[in-house]
Every structure is written in structure tokens, then in C-alpha cells.
Structure 1
Amino acid sequence: MINERKSYMEEAEIVELYELHYSDLKLLSSGSGSGSSSTQELERLETIKTSIMEALGPNGPGLLSICGLTNASILRRNLLPLARNLALLNPDHRNRIFKEHNLGSDVSLKNPDRNVSSFAMQLRYEQGLESTQNNASSRVGGLTDSDQDHVDVDMTRHLPDYEYKNLGNTFKELGFCMMELGLRLARICDRAIGGQELEQSLLESRTAKGRLIHYHSTPENITLKEAGRKRGFSKNLDNHRRDWEHCMKSEQVQTKRANMDTNCHEVGFRGTHSNLWQQWHYDYGVFTVLTDPLFILSSYLPGNKREEQYALSCDQECPSPSGHTYLQIFDPNKNKVRMVKSSPESFIIQVGESADIISKGKLRSTLHCVVRPAKLENLSRETFVLFLQPAWSKTFSISDYPLENCNLDCQCSGVPDAENQLAEQDSKLTEEIRKIIPPLSLRLTDGMTFAEFSRETTKQYYGGGGLQANK
């Protein structure tokens, strides 16, 4: 089974995203170059606009990447490692930090079976627009990346919560930078489609949700499960350290559990119930903006005496083992899964179902999941995501929306390449995906508000009778 997964990883088709430079994003969204630019420059910008719509349209992957944001890259490097630190903190300590920095979670952090820890905050558009206009993202709390390199590590261990000093500010500033990317891209798409509905729908919502996410390594999962069973998240750190050491030494147990889903069914890498960090789904907003992920390889350090020191010290940032993001998308045109690759420190923008509906199918929402890498049980994944969505009162009209887009059977009707040795497996995967994705036709009706659509979507995915309620 492991060899099959390895073979698939080596042979799977990689999609390298169309990369848009931030400077070109600004030019296209502002229209500042249209009056005085040369014919050659105008043609170049028109070619870029065409490439954007091809990447986000019905024949593209439904996502692209943006590079060239130096300040945002610094914020990303400062923020992402804190996701793992927060996930492994004592719950009482974490709650104090939440209160201080106005954070919450849309994941039950008391659930020991969770694969993901998520830390969320609502961000307001007016604050974001003011922040980006004032170029406030160049420095956060007076401490830049280079300043942090000179901080005395021994000193920080004696200062409570020192590593979280700028958490709230960094969270907001990175979110505001990503908010700007989404708004500018919406304006470009509006101009290509006609009208201003995408951008206006975002501005009318007034808020976006930022989410700092830690995807757990296998030893972390085992530790949390055992801690939950034995102590109900007790603060007995000696037992916690023994649990961790036991997990790290039990390689055979880890490998076996790495191939099990949350219901303890043995699965293969290619199945929809395989070892996924996040199950297959569509985002139902307008755009989802993501950082290129950060990977951390953890190891047990027996000298640590405090949970916080253990969380901070026994990890090492590393590049992606495979060179891609471990974000998978489903290509309905070819009936196959494709692995997403993006440039380091770039930002990915992904089309959601609301943009698909508002654009009358000129933009394509992306069916996706996040997969665990095989045989790398100690690897965790960190990312920051911003969800841009319409106002709750936004009304959807589907009078001119392509009916075939409402039905997953039609979306997945392409014929796999007969020469592809994985074609049969791709076809089986398509059937499995159909079983757990509620088609748009069952979640959307004409005149439905975004609030009603999001409520129905959540119900059909995860509600008591939802298709993924027990996945």
C-alpha cells in the first residue's frame, strides 16, 4: 500500500499555477497604465488579463498565485510558525492568548480526534483599506523579521507570552494584505465579465474571516487522542511527555495509524477517505486567499520541562518534501486529481461557489482537499487563509447560470485518458467524490440569499444527515 501511494505521488499530474506579479495586479486593477502606456505595454497587460480569466475560468484550475509581496512575505514567516505553537499550548494558556489578541476558533479544540487546529478572527474591510493605503504592513508592532533574528532566545523563555507579543497585529496586517489581493482581483474579473458585482458584493459584506491553521502531524494526533482519553486534557505534563515519547518510538503503530481514517477503516492514498488533512469540498464564498504553506518537521526533545518550551523548541522548518503544497484539486474536465504547486512565499487565490454563481459560470469554483504526505508522520503543515464572501443578504439569481454546473454528475462527465495507467483509479475516485459532495442543484435555488445558501451548504456537508457528517 505504501509503495502504491509513493508511486502515485511520483506520477500524479502537477498543476503549476499561473503566477501574477503584484505590480501587474495593481496596474490592471487601477487602470493607471491605460492612458499613457505604449501599445506594447497595453498588449502585455491585455495578455495578462486573458491569462487570469483562463486560469479562473471553466477550462482552468480555478485558482492562481500572486508573487512579489515582500512585506506580506515577512508577515507570513512571522505568523505561520505560531499556528503549531498555539495548537500545542495548554488550553488555559491558549485561552488567555485568545482573549488578549481577540482570537477564537471555528474548530472544537476540545476534540482530541481533530486533524486540524484553527484560530480565527473577523477582519473589517474599512480597516484593511486604511491599513494598505498607509503601507502599515512594512512593520508590525515595531519588530521586523530582521529584528527578531537578534532576540535573545534565553531571554524569551522568561517573558510570558513573548513569542505571541505581535500575534494579533501580524494576523490583521497579513489578512489586510490578502484582502487587498482579493479585492483587486475581483475588480479585474468584473471588468472582464462586465459590471461590478463581484467587488461590490465583497465590500457590502464589510468583513472577511481570517483563519490561521495548523494541520497536525501523526504523533500530535496520537498524543491528543491519548491525552483526551486518559485525562480529558489534564495539565499533567509529565504524562504528556511520556505519551509523546511513546508515540515517537512506536514507528510501527504510527505507520499503521497513518493509513487509517478517523473511523479506523484502512484506506489507500487515492480514496476520498484516505489519509487527508482536510476532506473534499468546495468553498462557498467569492474568493479564498491562502499563503503558500509552511512545513514543520518535529522531534522529541527530552530536556524540555514545560509544554510551551516543547512546542517551541522541538521543531524545524523545512521545504515541502514533494515540492508542492499538498493541496489537491479535482479537474472535472479530465476526471482526475491534480496536485497544486506554487512558488515559495506566494499567495494562492481560489474561486468559491459564490463567484461561480455571480459570474454566471465565467469563473469556476474549485473542488479541493488537503492530503497528508505518505511516510512523513512527523510533518505538520501551517497556513493562513482569508475567506472573502458576499454580504449575508446578497441574493443569488440563477436564471442565466449554466444548468450543467449545478450537477456534479455533469461536471464529472469527462473521459480519462485511455493511455493513462491511473485512468481506472481516477474513475473510481470520481465515483467516490460524487458520494460525499452535495451537488449545487440541491443547495441553491433562485432568489436564495447567501446566508440561506451557506446554511444549506453546511447542513448538507456536515449536518446530522450530511454527506460528510461522519467522515
Structure 2
Amino acid sequence: MPSDLKEKEMEEAGTLELYELHYSDLMSLSSDRLSSSSSSEELERLESISRTITETLGPSGPGLLSITGVPNISNLRHYLLPLARKLALLNNDDRKRVLKEHSLGSDVPLKNLNRSVSSFAMQLKYAQGLELTQSKEIHEDDGNHKSKQDHLDIDSFGEFQDSEYKNLRNTFKELGFCMMELGLRLARICDRAIGDQELEQSLLESCAAKGRLIHYHSTLDNLILKEVGTRKGSTKGLASYKRDQEQFTSNRQKPAEGPKLDISGSEAKSYGSLSNLWQQWHYDYGIFTVLTSPLFISSCHSPTTKVKDHLCMSCEQECPSPSGHTYLQIFDPNKNNVLTVKSAPESFIVQVGESADILSKGRLRSTLHSVCRPANIENLSRETFVVFLQPAWSKTFSISDYPMDQLRGRCSGVCNEETHFTEQELNKLTQDIHKIVPPLPSRLKDGMTFAEFSRETTKQYYGGSGLQSKR
């Protein structure tokens, strides 16, 4: 493993600082004119970077990296990501109208007031990305988009300015197409290292990718949703809200003060847990998953704080991660660790999915991952934007020459970020992960199409007899 990659993998127990691929190097490595326009020294440098990429994404690496220095994305990210929370907390009628107007849907039951995640999705077509014009009307945050009121009545929480969402669809597409290009170019680099064009061609044949704007709910967010439900006359919702509010108040020692959030030692103990998760352990089954670095939003007040008999909800602000990492965690079978991922604030994270693992004959390694919650911080939410790059539904998988030993025994032990488990605890956590993550051989058969593979994967994770159906 190259020395620079070793330096990026921080040796503090259980923390992974991602290898950073600069956008300019990504462009150079994926260019068809590389050999004719570069000096021998530059070619040698880029060849070293290419080797590092394949090692990072291969069986000996963590299976993910970050891309930094992508131009003109900061405004897009800072406009789009906060809308995830705003959409999640809208009343159902207003949200339905906004989503329809901007051609968005959801694969999450948004009427479930206890949901931990809200997701807003759109199919992104490669052809549309090529036709995207350069003159975009990008929303600029001038500080005037918030309500003039400092404190809003819960009944009027859904009364919003439509202008706040006017660039939702265009920004969703523009950022999504940018992320699709990153994935395509990375696929081209991996193809050259592997010696074929399977990955890039499979992406282009699919014609589309799926973009998903995701809001990970704070405890406060769920109390707001339940309060909205109580104002609609739901006795069941009222009882649930009061119960949760009492529990929130009893567990809360002091309110968070804006972005200055602290974590207790108990948070470190939660990283290896299966219970304190925003998103349960799983593999993505596409080729690449491209994610923005997350944005965190802190609400300044407890949901029990009222001003002039109104629930305070408008005091919110972006804040840094209280722990310094993304709360994305991966299982690294090489280290037998649960690693919490760190990345630069304006970077993109690219993860290898199972389809890339299969198509590359195991030369790229899919990443087992989850998203953990911060412990004892009830008013912190997490926002991110994800693009899933996948092959065409008709793509046929062959596993006749796949190294079968890589299909078995992906997990053999884990440890968390700061507190090492005993051997017994290691085995217990490993067994728990195995119980909820269906092994690849149980979902993949030789000659399966991607459609069949994705259907079987979804069934085993979430179906009526799926391993995570009751979680």
C-alpha cells in the first residue's frame, strides 16, 4: 500500500480519513488525450495515483474514496441540502404539491411520523445531463428567505414561501449530473486499470441514475412531526407526542447552544451498535454510490421551549459535525474494524457497490456500511444528497470466474472508534451484523440480470421474509 494512502488511513482506532482524489487529477486520468499532452514526469505521477485508486477501491482497501476540488458546487450543495429537512417537516399536502411540481417522489413512507429518514428521489437521465445549459438560475442565500417571525406557530409551519423551492428541480438535476460525471470518469479509470470497459459501458447502457435527497431526522424533528399530527385532531398522535416529549425532557441535560455541540464518551460506544443507527448495515447493489459530504443542522431550542405560546422551530443553523466525522461508518474486513469515515466538507464520497464488485471479478470491493446517530444530541439532523449509479436492468451477471472465497466470510470481527470490545463482544456484534445482512451468494446466481439481482436483494433485506423487515 502506498505511503500516502497509509497516511490517509488514520491509525487512531476505528477512524478512516478517506484518500482524496483531486478533481483535476480525475479529469486528467480519464482524458483520452493523456499520453499525447503530458510529460513523462506527469505521466508517472498520474500512474501512481491510478494505482492508489485501484488499491483503495480494491480488496486490500476500504472500498471508498473522496473527490475534492470540484468547481462550482458549493452554492448548489448549500442550497439543496437544507431543503431536505424543510421538505421532511412540511405538512403532507404542501409537500405533495412541491414534490409534484418539481418531479420528485419518495421511496420512504412519509406519513410515518416515527420515520428516522425522509428521502426525495428523481431519475436522472444521462441524455438530459448532456443537454443541460450553462445559464442556470441558482438560488443564492441572501439571508432573506427565512420568515420574518423568529417564532412560528406550529399551525403555520407549512405556510412557506414557494420561492424558497423555485430552484429545487434544477439544482437537484445540476448537482446530480455533476455527480454522475464523477462516477463515469472514475469508472473509466477503473476500467483501464482492470483492462476492459465493463463498468463505464454498463453505466451508459443504463441511461439513468437515481438521485436521492436525504434528511436524517433528529429527535426534535420527529416531535415536530407528531405535534403537527396532534393539531389535526389525532388523539393517538397527541398521546404519542406527549410521551415522547416527556422522554425527551427527562433525557435532556442541557440544550445545545447553536453549533457548539459536545459529545459524551457514550457516543464512542455507540459506533459499533446496531440499535443507535440512522441507517442499518447494508451493501449498495449498484456500481458506484456518489454522496455529498453531509451537512448538519442544529435547532437551537428544545421542542418544549415556547415563546408566546408558540413552539419555536425557526431557530436552526448549519453546524460542523460534533465529532469531526461524517457518521458514515464502514466495516473493514481487512482490519476487522468498524471505521467511522472522515472527509473534507466540500468533497464527494464514492463507494463501490456490489455490481462493480461482480463485474470487476472482485478487483473492486463493495463496502458494507451504515449511518450512526450521535448519542445524546437530540436536536442534530444530517442532510446529504446521493446518486446511485447502476447497470441496465437487463445486464447479465456471470460469476463463473469470480473468486468465490471473496463471496464468503466478509466479516470476522469488529471494534469501535474509541473503546475496544472484548473477544466475546466482537463475536456478538459480528454475528448480529451477519443476521441482518444477507450474504451475496444467497442473492446472486450465475446468469441473473441486474433486475433479478436487485429484486432478490430488496426482498431479502426488506421483504416479508427479509432479514431487516422488522427493524
TM-score, normalised via structure 2 length:
0.84
Report deviation, 1:107. 0.3
* Equivalent position amino acid for 1:178 in 2: M
* Equivalent position amino acid for 2:136 in 1: V
Q: Equivalents in 2 of 1:458, 1:278: separation in Å?
A: 15
Q: Does 1:77 align with 2:78?
A: yes
Render the CA deviation track for 1:172-191: whole Å, top value 9, x for unaligned.
10000000000000010011
* Equivalent position amino acid for 2:216 in 1: Y
Q: Equivalents in 2 of 1:89, 1:416: separation in Å?
A: 39
Q: Equivalents in 2 of 1:346, 1:316: separation in Å?
A: 20
Is the alpha carbon distance of 1:303 and 1:246 closer, same or farther for their aligned partners in structure 2, counting shifts above 3 Å? farther
SS in structure 2 of the partner of residue 209 of structure 1: strand
Q: Equivalents in 2 of 1:296, 1:372: separation in Å?
A: 13
Is the alpha carbon distance of 1:414 and 1:111 closer, same or farther for their aligned partners in structure 2, counting shifts above 3 Å? closer
Is the alpha carbon distance of 1:371 and 1:304 closer, same or farther for their aligned partners in structure 2, counting shifts above 3 Å? farther
Report deviation, 1:401. 0.6
Q: Equivalents in 1 of 2:15, 2:395: separation in Å?
A: 36
Render the CA deviation track for 1:141-169: whole Å, top value 9, x for unaligned.
2x453xx3264756899973121111111
TM-score, normalised via structure 1 length:
0.84
**Counterpart residue number, 1:247:** 245
Over the residues paired in the alignment, what is the CA RMSD in angstroms? 2.9
Native 8 Å contact 2:27 2:185 kept in 1? yes
Is the alpha carbon distance of 1:454 and 1:153 closer, same or farther for their aligned partners in structure 2, counting shifts above 3 Å? closer
* Equivalent position amino acid for 1:345 in 2: E
Is the alpha carbon distance of 1:179 and 1:305 closer, same or farther for their aligned partners in structure 2, counting shifts above 3 Å? farther
Q: Equivalents in 1 of 2:450, 2:200: separation in Å?
A: 15
- Correspondences of 1:30-429 after superposition (within 5 Å): 30-131=31-132, 136=134, 140-141=136-137, 143-145=138-140, 148-149=141-142, 151=144, 153=146, 160-224=161-225, 234=232, 247=245, 250-253=248-251, 269-270=270-271, 272-300=273-301, 302-303=306-307, 313-407=314-408, 410-413=409-412, 421-422=420-421, 424=423, 425-429=425-429
Native 8 Å contact 1:291 1:347 kept in 2? yes
**Counterpart residue number, 2:457:** 457
Q: Equivalents in 2 of 1:54, 1:423: separation in Å?
A: 31
Identity %: 66
Q: Equivalents in 1 of 2:309, 2:102: separation in Å?
A: 26
SS in structure 2 of the partner of residue 354 of structure 1: helix
Native 8 Å contact 1:284 1:352 kept in 2? yes
* Equivalent position amino acid for 2:299 in 1: S
SS in structure 1 of the partner of residue 184 of structure 2: helix
Native 8 Å contact 2:223 2:244 kept in 1? no
Is the alpha carbon distance of 1:106 and 1:423 closer, same or farther for their aligned partners in structure 2, counting shifts above 3 Å? same
Q: Which has the higher helix share?
A: 1
* Equivalent position amino acid for 1:426 in 2: L
Native 8 Å contact 1:211 1:386 kept in 2? yes
Native 8 Å contact 1:335 1:430 kept in 2? no
Which deviates the most, 33-42 or 438-447?
33-42
Q: Equivalents in 1 of 2:12, 2:219: separation in Å?
A: 25
Native 8 Å contact 1:217 1:379 kept in 2? yes
Report deviation, 1:458. 0.4
Is the alpha carbon distance of 1:80 and 1:353 closer, same or farther for their aligned partners in structure 2, counting shifts above 3 Å? same
Native 8 Å contact 1:325 1:340 kept in 2? yes
Question: Which residues of structure 2 form unaligned runs of 5+?
Answer: 1-10, 153-158, 254-268
Is the alpha carbon distance of 1:28 and 1:304 closer, same or farther for their aligned partners in structure 2, counting shifts above 3 Å? farther
Question: Which residues of structure 1 form unaligned runs of 5+?
Answer: 1-9, 256-267
Is the alpha carbon distance of 1:439 and 1:304 closer, same or farther for their aligned partners in structure 2, counting shifts above 3 Å? farther
* Equivalent position amino acid for 2:64 in 1: L
Q: Equivalents in 2 of 1:340, 1:47: separation in Å?
A: 24
Q: Equivalents in 1 of 2:32, 2:25: separation in Å?
A: 10
Q: Equivalents in 2 of 1:98, 1:415: separation in Å?
A: 41
Q: Equivalents in 2 of 1:83, 1:209: separation in Å?
A: 16
Q: Equivalents in 1 of 2:233, 2:46: separation in Å?
A: 58
Report deviation, 1:76. 0.6
Report deviation, 1:422. 3.0
Is the alpha carbon distance of 1:129 and 1:235 closer, same or farther for their aligned partners in structure 2, counting shifts above 3 Å? farther
* Equivalent position amino acid for 2:80 in 1: L
